[in-house]
Structure 1
């Protein structure tokens, strides 16, 4: 009887592992397509931005928040010697702020306590060297922040540039190529002279979406001409662009 019990437990564990592996593969594939969409735009990589936010709904103290932030900064690959910590913890303000920079990457992590049942960890990453590590960085953020809540929000944006002013019909060509690659349907479109912005729903990224006026959106593309730089800039984000552009 015990033998059957152990076999049953083993089968359940195998199934759980298979489900977890399937979810990881599914996520990797969706982000691989996201990176492929950027590459198909033929823009020169400029930077990527990743922002994360997680609520903590229990009474947490300053040492716990600081420990969470330091561990996350370390897991994101920042050396302790490069990390600056600012601690403001008094009756008026309860906040831990960490910042770290190296040659190509800037990371800031803020832990804020608003009440005994409402605290937040917010992460802001900017990298201007490589973008193909986005899948790994996303996994680190998700795995670390999911320890404290299942309501983790992560926003990813890749920015690129073209070394000249593009004609408006070229904007549409780039947009259509990305939408095709991402199997996406346009939900809203704003087009002006030298500017194009669309929100869309991609079947590839369907696990990561927001709801807006009754529609699901998980893909945001912005293209604009910068007169100051004399370049055309492109932003591809999921689920939306969280930058001023």
Structure 2
């Protein structure tokens, strides 16, 4: 629950501070991420699709919020749903957690709030896919279609994998540079510390990007050593990785 709220807070911050832009190319974000991951040679762990819609200047009652959540859950065919609700005069919230099928977990969060100066509602659909046999394009298209009736749909797509043992930062840096080149991306900024590395890049070949501090970005590759499992984890996300890593 707290991790999902953390992700949701990140999404709200991004929605305020970033601007989405379009390019003239037709490479879907999910195709770019999957292409890079395949070339990385990492062992597959899971896919995370974090999608959201921000509805400005509109407060929805608990009945409205519940209806939206139920509609989305039904269209995604979510089973074994665990519901949590909060409701007062100026705030309502519903969290539905369940599974689509074995190995495919989903959380739907719908909330609405109002104050003297602000009315805003939001919808979050977070899907975690742990099966190696999956269709990322189909899943992303389905989520976009379902959420499009509520407003502009934004997706953060993350593929997670790992290499056995410890991989040096030098080797990771070389590998990440090669992966960025595959989709024609250039490094925007990055950090490299002890057993941790994160590089943000931009390519005009991906349909969307975010803008911050006068710079564009739409691909993020991060890695760290997991001493508990003696493996080096790698995350590849677009436009940015929004998970804790």
TM-score (normalised: structure 2): 0.80
Matched positions, count: 217
- Work out which of the two has the higher radius of gyration on C-alpha atoms and give 1 or 2: 1
Are residue 137 (structure 1) and residue 136 (structure 2) matched?
no
Are residue 50 (structure 1) and residue 52 (structure 2) matched?
no
> Where do 5+ consecutive residues of structure 2 fail to align?
1-24
| Alpha-carbon distance change, 131 to 239 in structure 1, aligned in 2, over 3 angstroms | farther
CA contact under 8 A between 2:33 and 2:158: conserved in structure 1?
no
Post-superposition Cα deviations, 1:91-133, rounded to whole Å, max 9, x if no partner, equal: 2641122110353122111111102841111122222113742
Shift of 1:84: 2.2
Q: Which moved more, 1:112-121 or 1:210-219?
A: 112-121
* Equivalent in the alignment of 2:106: 107
Matches within 5 A, 1:13-24: none
Report which structure shows greater RCO (CA 8 Å, sep ≥6). 2
What is the Cα-based RMSD across aligned positions, in Å?
2.2
Shift of 1:41: 0.2
Shift of 1:74: 2.7
> Where do 5+ consecutive residues of structure 1 fail to align?
1-24
CA contact under 8 A between 2:27 and 2:205: conserved in structure 1?
no
Q: Which moved more, 1:65-74 or 1:180-189?
A: 65-74
| Structure number having the greater strand percentage | 2
What is the alpha-carbon distance in structure 2 between the residues aligned to residue 218 and residue 181 of structure 1?
A: 14
Shift of 1:231: 0.3
| Structure number having the greater helix percentage | 1
What is the alpha-carbon distance in structure 2 between the residues aligned to residue 191 and residue 117 of structure 1?
A: 41
Shift of 1:90: 2.6
* Equivalent in the alignment of 1:226: 226
CA contact under 8 A between 1:47 and 1:160: conserved in structure 2?
yes
* Equivalent in the alignment of 1:95: 93
Matches within 5 A, 1:19-168: 26=26, 28=28, 30-57=29-56, 58-79=58-79, 82-91=80-89, 93-101=91-99, 102-115=101-114, 117-130=119-132, 132-150=134-152, 152-168=153-169
Q: Runs (4+) of structure 1 moved beyond 4 Å?
A: none
CA contact under 8 A between 1:221 and 1:235: conserved in structure 2?
yes
Shift of 1:27: 5.2
Q: Which moved more, 1:84-93 or 1:48-57?
A: 84-93
